[in-house]
Copies of this chain bind each other. A is one copy, B any other.
């Protein structure tokens, strides 16, 4: 069974940015695993914090429940870590554990955040963590008993304000077959309702651009930047 791995900063990032890819491959029988380094409890839960008497534990519980519901809709396994947010800090043990997870899963691709994001250092850090884990997963001297991973492609999903994040889309992924599922996953995220329409429109913009570049009608798409070059056996 082929597999894909998503390494997301906060509990909801994977839904908005990579929900289509997750649902698409899951629907084709892939094992899709999503790791969130943080619940996003401090910086990405503004709506919850506006409620009177809110506590950190209630925010976390809410975020956890929403993320699990969304992952369930998309067909993904969810692994929630708690490395905090605003600021997130990730110890080396987590990087090594992610390297082992890559080896165990042997994913065909890893999805994570953009190269930079001036509004969100947690996102940039998560991409670095994902990248370093991918590098270590190939080192034969790291846990030499385990089978090493190959050079897994890493694709970086769309940040909120793309042009300031040093991000450029290399690949438009047609997600028309699963867009309704993706939208349903959005609707599990009650704490960030304002993003439902934002990312629905984003999918439509990328769909239009995919149409222009691909020459056949596509309504909704997701966009990804590659972190490494591709290897191909044909240019067609």
Given contacts A86-B142, A198-B205, A208-B198, A213 and B151 within 8 Å (CB-CB) = yes
Given contacts A86-B141, A118-B227, A201-B201, A161 and B209 within 8 Å (CB-CB) = yes
Chain B residues positioned under 8 Å from A205 (CB to CB): 198, 201-202, 205
Chain B residues positioned under 8 Å from A169 (CB to CB): 163-164, 229
A141→B235 contact, CB < 8 A? no
Chain B residues positioned under 8 Å from A109 (CB to CB): 235-236
Least CB distance from A30 to B in Å reads 7
Whether A77 sits at the interface, judged by CB under 8 Å, is no
Closest residue to A161 on the B side, CB-wise? B209
Given contacts A171-B235, A172-B230, A227-B118, A163 and B164 within 8 Å (CB-CB) = no
Closest residue to A202 on the B side, CB-wise? B205
Closest residue to A204 on the B side, CB-wise? B201
Chain B residues positioned under 8 Å from A230 (CB to CB): 170-172, 213
Whether A184 sits at the interface, judged by CB under 8 Å, is no
Number of residues in A with C-beta < 8 Å to the partner?
87
Whether A7 sits at the interface, judged by CB under 8 Å, is no
Interface centre among A108, A168, A221, A236, by most B CB within 10 Å? A236
Chain B residues positioned under 8 Å from A92 (CB to CB): 87, 89
B164→A168 contact, CB < 8 A? yes
Chain B residues positioned under 8 Å from A131 (CB to CB): 118, 121
Least CB distance from A234 to B in Å reads 7
- Can you name 8 A-B residue pairings with CB atoms under 8 Å? A4-B236, A86-B142, A121-B135, A162-B162, A172-B231, A209-B229, A213-B229, A221-B231
User: Residues of A with Cβ closer than 8 Å to B?
Assistant: 2, 4, 21, 24-25, 28, 30, 41-43, 45-46, 49-50, 54, 56, 59, 85-87, 89, 92, 95, 108-109, 111, 118-121, 128, 131-132, 135-136, 138-142, 144, 150-151, 153, 155, 160-164, 167-174, 194, 197-198, 201-202, 204-205, 208-210, 212-215, 218, 221, 223-224, 226-236
